[in-house]
Amino acid sequence: MRQRGAVLIAIIFVAMLIGIGFFKLHQSTQFEELEFIKEGEEEIFINTRKSGAKLIQEFYLSRWGKYYVLEQDKITEWDASGNLCGEIGSTGQGPGEFTGIIGMGVNEEKIFINDQGRKIIIYSRKGEFLRQFPLDTFLAGNFAASNDDEIIGVTLSSTESGKIGQITGLDAKGRIKYFLQEPKDHGLWTLRFSKEGGVAGGIINPENLPAFIICPAGNGVWLAHNSQYFIRFYDYSGNLVRTIEGPPFSRETTPDISSQRTRNDVHRRNPAPLFSALILDESNRLYVITTSRKRRKQKIYIADIYSEEGNYLLSAKCQAKPKLINNGFLYFISEDREGWPVIKRIKIKNYHEILSRRPTGIHKN
């Protein structure tokens, strides 16, 4: 019996050594962080002085190659060389006109404008007005639009205890089709906000406040709430297709704020979010952009990069928050010397390393 006990202890000890060795190997070989190396100097790609813009709210690339800048009260269209092509729609009360743009989306052939959260206006890729429809409920900011004109976005509704913000599917006439969670629930896709002044997720600023983040991706959409590292891909029928859970490694500087989401209310004072954006490149790789961190008085952003299937590839550091990553260029919002808002871009010298990277096996579905 003593010999058996000694053998058992030896086996356990060896297993512990193997386990320790495995985790060391896993951490040292599976995770890799590099830095986007720029080739040449940054350049101004879009100069909004041409359109008289004083503020850039959002920046988009359509699937037909045109760029769209959401400004204070209009949407301007730009070509692949950064030349101004014109505007989409106009202000007013008539058909095809809007009173206040708070978000937009595109599918394969159409442009969708969110007019004050109460109406969707649809234009062709040539900017021609097609149709419009009222919304059953308030639609906050940006959203994803399917090729059948269905929408996934963040909606807000009022209750006796306060407002509810939730991920909602709308049909092609603006009617509520489904909730990813029942409105009475509080969980990953539903948040309650107190009457005392809670902050509505997804409306203000995902860099500094709790917010839903929506990233359209062809036949579905990547969804996340920036207070938790749970990123999920749904089709437009609301079916869960794939999941990314937890960061690819443990960052000592990453605040643990997941416990804050167990409360029924979201208040103004919240810890810093885990990430601020989800971006797809031309090959449908997903970039999870962290919130900024200061290193030697300089802001640093880290992009955790995943394959289309949701498998971890690598992480990369960048010194500006990207709004778009496409064909070897990183685009971001900045200002020129006179203070005009501009879209700048940087050519990424080592972009081929990302293109050739194979999944590590982390976050397999």
- In this prediction, the residues of the chain whose per-residue pLDDT falls under 50 are 1-30, 194-205, 252-270, 363-365
pLDDT digits (tens, 9 = 90+) for 218-260: 899 999 988 888 899 999 999 999 999 877 765 544 333 333 3
Strands 240-245 and 162-170: unpaired
Angle at alpha carbon of residue 273, lines to 268 and 279, rounded to 5°:
130
Residue 243's domain comprises 31-355
pLDDT digits (tens, 9 = 90+) for 250-272: 554 433 333 333 333 344 344 56
Q: What are 95's two structure tokens?
A: 């058909």
- Whether 188 maps to a domain, the answer reads yes
- Whether 207 maps to a domain, the answer reads yes
- Whether 8 maps to a domain, the answer reads no
- Whether 1 maps to a domain, the answer reads no
Q: What are 9's two structure tokens?
A: 């202890």
- pLDDT value for 260: 39
- pLDDT value for 209: 64
Q: List, as one string, the DSSP characters of 295-342.
A: ETTEEEEEEEEE-TTS-EEEEEEESS--SEEETTEEEEEEE-TTS-EE
- H-helix or E-strand containing 143? strand 138-145
Question: Residue 139, class by beta-carbon neighbours within 10 Å (0-12 exposed, 13-18 middle, 19+ buried)?
Answer: buried
Asked whether 191 and 164 are in contact (CB, 8 A), the reply is yes
Asked whether 194 and 265 are in contact (CB, 8 A), the reply is yes
- Whether 294 maps to a domain, the answer reads yes
Asked whether 362 and 62 are in contact (CB, 8 A), the reply is no
Place of tokens 């386990």: 19
- Whether 11 maps to a domain, the answer reads no
Domain count, the chain: 1
- Whether 24 maps to a domain, the answer reads no
- pLDDT value for 259: 36
- pLDDT value for 117: 94
- Whether 202 maps to a domain, the answer reads yes
Find, among 243, 196, 206, the residue nearest to 227 by Cα: 206
The CATH code of the domain that includes 311 is: 2.120.10.30
- pLDDT value for 54: 80
